[in-house]
Each structure stands twice: as structure tokens, then as C-alpha cells.
Amino acid sequence: MGTDVLTKQNGKFNVSDELRGMLALREDGELFIARAYLFNAHVRGFQARLTQQGFNFRIVETDLNVVQQMYRTVFTSDEAAHTDMQKASIELFSRAVKRRASDIHIRVSKRQNTRIYFRVHNDLEFIEEHSYDYGNKLCSTIYQAMADVSDATFEENARQDARISEREKIPEELDGIRIATTPQVDGFLFVLRLLYNDSAEDLDLRKLGFSNAHIDAIEYMKRRPTGVIIIAGPTGSGKSTTLQRVLGSIISETKGKKHIITVEDPPEYPIPGAVQTPVTNAETEEERSKEYQKAIKAAMRLDPDIIMLSEVRDLPTSKLTIQAAMTGHQVWTTVHSNTGLGTFDRFRDLGVELDLMTDPTVVAGVICQRLVKTLCPHCKKKLIDQKDRYEKKHLERLMEVKLSLENVYVQGDGCDKCANTGVQGRTVVAETIVTDNTLMKHIRNTDRMGAINYVYKDNGNKTMLQHAIEKIDAGLVDPFLAEDVVGPLNAGNIESDHRITSQELAAA
């Protein structure tokens, strides 16, 4: 049986230093209690806690110095193990930064051991494999010894969030590391999101891939005094980066005269000049939602000009977001949605009344975006020289959207400039919608086809698909990699009359 002390600091059972001076619980179930404290109320309370949790234990009466020596012994061995694991963690972070990974996935499984992956340009790359015990110790060390915003202990069977931001624990290229965990059938998944600090250096949205038309629309949204501006897209689509740059540009342009308050769960990128408020870590989703709501209400009482909410996630927060806009604030937030117009459907799904969100002074605009891989300029290849690699029907699909094969490039074999991947980073493909009374009338009448025609035909806005096609035609993006993100390139042609026939599917 193991002799690890479960009541040690950051051990399985979180106890006070005072109680630690009275007792020590070992992994084999023996509860050592100093004789002077056998009938102490706190000691009795701890025994009741163990019984309630179904932990079998045996009381061993002992001297106080024996209890103290047990902690000294385990502290020495644990400290050495933690130090080794901290070094391994820092080395892992550095390797991920060199690959410009956005995330580190650590899958700890009793059946499949520990497998570590980096997410690079949105693809998971297998890095290395270790034992189950190694992964358990690595994740426990990262969570308990390196995170500065976390629960007291790492629980394998719980969903937890944390953050590492102390400079000596992370590479200099990072502002912080966000941690999210979840149990799986035979272990747990530990995901670290790497937050790079170069996002605040350049506030130009064109560098992210937005077009001049997008910039014009966003500038107009920024100048609307009230209303919610929503940045939509799936997880990992660059919403937080766009949000950080937009708010940074407002602060720069107004020379700090606008009072900007953020409510973030958790905070990601620093926004110099804004008051960034975190949401207290909570044990359950219900508690987290309540804390998030309390933080939004508090922000509204702090005389803000602009409020930024990291995400609209449920009915209470969506209603508070609308309420903040209706009380005369400009509000920026994000939501998971597939298209710009689909954002209104998302709010309806959350339970927001249609009348509340179909006022252009309440919902002022929508930015919807994805990220597609950009080709390495050093090893990309002209599609016309690689035609033999592709079936005729795929080439015909490109011709259907009026792409000139002379201008189109595809992913090359890789070179030393792109770490032999054939791609160098990612670029935004987006669509922007500035709301007005005509659009809101279509939405209020649930006239979806009318809204689509008004936004994309009457007003000449481009869809994300059309934006991606422009980048393909400019030789920046592989058409087949783009289709993984935005769908078939000829979908716009097929759906131009808002229907898809079996003949069109066959031709596609």
C-alpha cells in the first residue's frame, strides 16, 4: 500500500495548516492523530468528512513529533518531484512556442498511457508518449505548483479551469497559459491554450486578414454610441484576438478618454488602458454563470463608456448584454455562431425575445470570422503544374467560381522556412454586417431569405466564402484547405436561389 500523505499541502484532501499540525492521513488509510488532539472538534469534523466521502480509515494514536516528521519527509520527496516536473513543463511550453502552437493537449489514459499533442495551424500534431503516472504528475504539477489562478487542488474527475501568468514559469513570448481539464472514461484531458504577447503590438486588423470593406464596416460600428457589436465564430476562430485589437484601437484613438471595462472568464490577452475584471473561479457551471452575471451587473454600475463581455453563453448573460446596450452603453462580445445572420438565430435559441434584438441601436453590428491556413510563399506550387494530383471534378469546381488556375497555388512539400509543413500561419476570412431598420424588419418578420438577399445582394456585402475565394485567387490560400473551413467553393452558386436540387448535388 502507498504511504503518501493525503493531507499534505496540495494533497488529495485540502486541510488547514492548523489541522495539519494535529493529524496526518496516509494513502493506506491510516489516520495518525496526535494524542493531545484526539477529541478536538476540528479533528472530529475531518473524520466525519472522510466518512461522508466513503473513505475507509483507521485511527492511529501517536506523538505530535511523529505527525510533524511525516510531513517533513513527504515534503522533501514531493518538492524534488515537483521541481523535476516543473522543469519538464517549462521545456514543453518552450517547444510548443517554437512551433507557434496555439494549444497543448495532454491526454492521460490508463489504457493508452499519456499522449501529448501540439495544435499547429489548427491541426493536432502528435509529439510524444509517456506513462500514465508521468502524465498524472505532469498535469498535477502544472495545475498545483505553476498555476496562479486555480482551485486549491487538481481533481482528475472534475472539470477545472486555471491560468499561469507568472513570468518565470512561462516563455517570454507568452502573456499567459489558460488551462482547461475534463475527465474521460479512463483518465482525463488537460488542454493548455498559449496566449502570445505579440497580439497587442500591432492593432491593424488588415494584418489579421480583414479587407478594406471589413475595416470600413468595423470603423462605423466603433463610432455607434450604443449597441452590442458581436464577434461570431466557432472555438479557435480568432475572436478574442480581433476583440483585443478593436478595443486597443479605440483606446489608442481616444487617447484613453473612454472608460472600458471588461468582464472575462477567464481573462486572455492584456488590453492596456482597459479595466480587465476576471470572473471568480467556480466549481460548477451554474455557479460560474451566476458569478458572470454578478460581474456584468457590477460593471454596469462602474460608469463605463464601453463594456466588453468575453462571451454570451446562456439566457441570463444574453439578456444582460442586451440590457447593457439598452441603457446607453456600447458593448462588445463574442458568441459561437456559424454565420453573421445566424447570430440572431443563436440569440433566439438562447431565449432572447425577437423584439429586443431587432433594434439597430441595440444590436449595432456583427463580425463573423474563421481562420484558414496561408501557404508558405517559399514552397507553394502552382495548381496548373499540379493538375494531375486532382480529380477532374475538383478542378471543374474551381472553374465554376471563376478562379483562374494560373493564379491559384496549392500546398507544397514543405521547406525549412515553414518547418516542412507547406503553410505559414493563418489568415481571417470574414463577413461584416452593419444593422439598419430594413434588415431588422426582415429579421423581425422571420423573413430569412429577405434578410439574406438584402445583406448580400442589395448591399453588396461579401460572405466568408467569397472572401476566401478572393484569397485563393490572390495565391495566398490553398483552395482545398480553404474548403475544410468554409465548405465547397461552389456552394454560393448552388444556393443562389436558396435551394439545392439533386442534379446540382450530382454536378457538384
- 446: Cα within 13 Å, side-chain hemisphere: 4
DSSP secondary structure string for all residues of 306-330? EEEES---SHHHHHHHHHHHHTT-E
Q: In what order do the strands lie in the sheet with 160-164?
A: 123-130, 113-120, 103-109, 187-196, 174-184, 160-164
**368, 337 contact by CB (below 8 A):** yes
pLDDT of residue 504: 53
Q: Show the 3-state SS of 169-202.
A: HCCCCEEEEEEEEEEECCEEEEEEEEEEHHHHCC
pLDDT of residue 235: 84
- Which residues does residue 264 pair with via DSSP β-bridges, in sequence order? 278
- Kindly provide the b/e burial profile for residues 484-506, where b requires at least 16 CB atoms within 10 angstroms of the residue's own CB: ebbeebbbbbbeeeeeeeeeeee
pLDDT tens, N- to C-terminus, the chain (508 residues): 457 888 887 678 888 878 888 999 998 899 999 998 999 988 999 999 999 889 999 999 999 888 888 887 765 555 555 677 888 999 999 999 999 999 999 999 988 899 999 999 888 999 999 999 899 989 988 998 888 766 667 888 888 888 888 888 899 899 889 999 999 989 999 999 998 887 556 788 999 999 999 999 999 999 999 999 999 998 889 998 999 999 999 999 999 899 999 998 777 778 889 999 887 666 667 787 888 888 888 999 999 999 999 889 888 889 899 989 998 899 999 999 889 999 999 999 988 888 888 999 999 999 999 999 999 999 999 999 988 888 888 888 888 888 878 889 999 999 998 888 899 989 999 999 999 999 999 999 999 999 999 999 898 899 999 999 999 999 999 999 999 999 888 887 666 666 655 555 555 5
Of 300, 227, 307, the residue nearest 262 (C-alpha)? 307
Q: Are strands 58-62 and 30-34 parallel, antiparallel or unpaired?
A: parallel
Residue type, 271: I
**28, 2 contact by CB (below 8 A):** yes
73: its cell numbers: 519527509
Of 312, 350, 356, the residue nearest 332 (C-alpha)? 312
Of 268, 230, 274, the residue nearest 252 (C-alpha)? 274
Mapped onto helix, strand or coil, the DSSP state of residue 429 is strand
In the chain, what is the straight-line distance between the N-terminal and C-terminal CA atoms, in Å? Answer: 64
pLDDT (tens digit per residue) in 350-375: 888 888 889 999 999 999 999 999 99
- Could you tell me the residue ranges of all domains in the chain? 17-62, 78-197, 202-507
pLDDT of residue 1: 42
Q: In what order do the strands lie in the sheet with 330-335?
A: 275-278, 260-264, 306-309, 330-335, 227-232, 363-375, 423-434
- Domain 202-507 sits in CATH at 3.40.50.300
pTM: 0.75
CATH architecture for residues 78-197: 2-Layer Sandwich (3.30)
- 9: Cα within 13 Å, side-chain hemisphere: 15
**158, 190 contact by CB (below 8 A):** no
pLDDT (tens digit per residue) in 400-423: 888 878 889 999 999 998 888 899
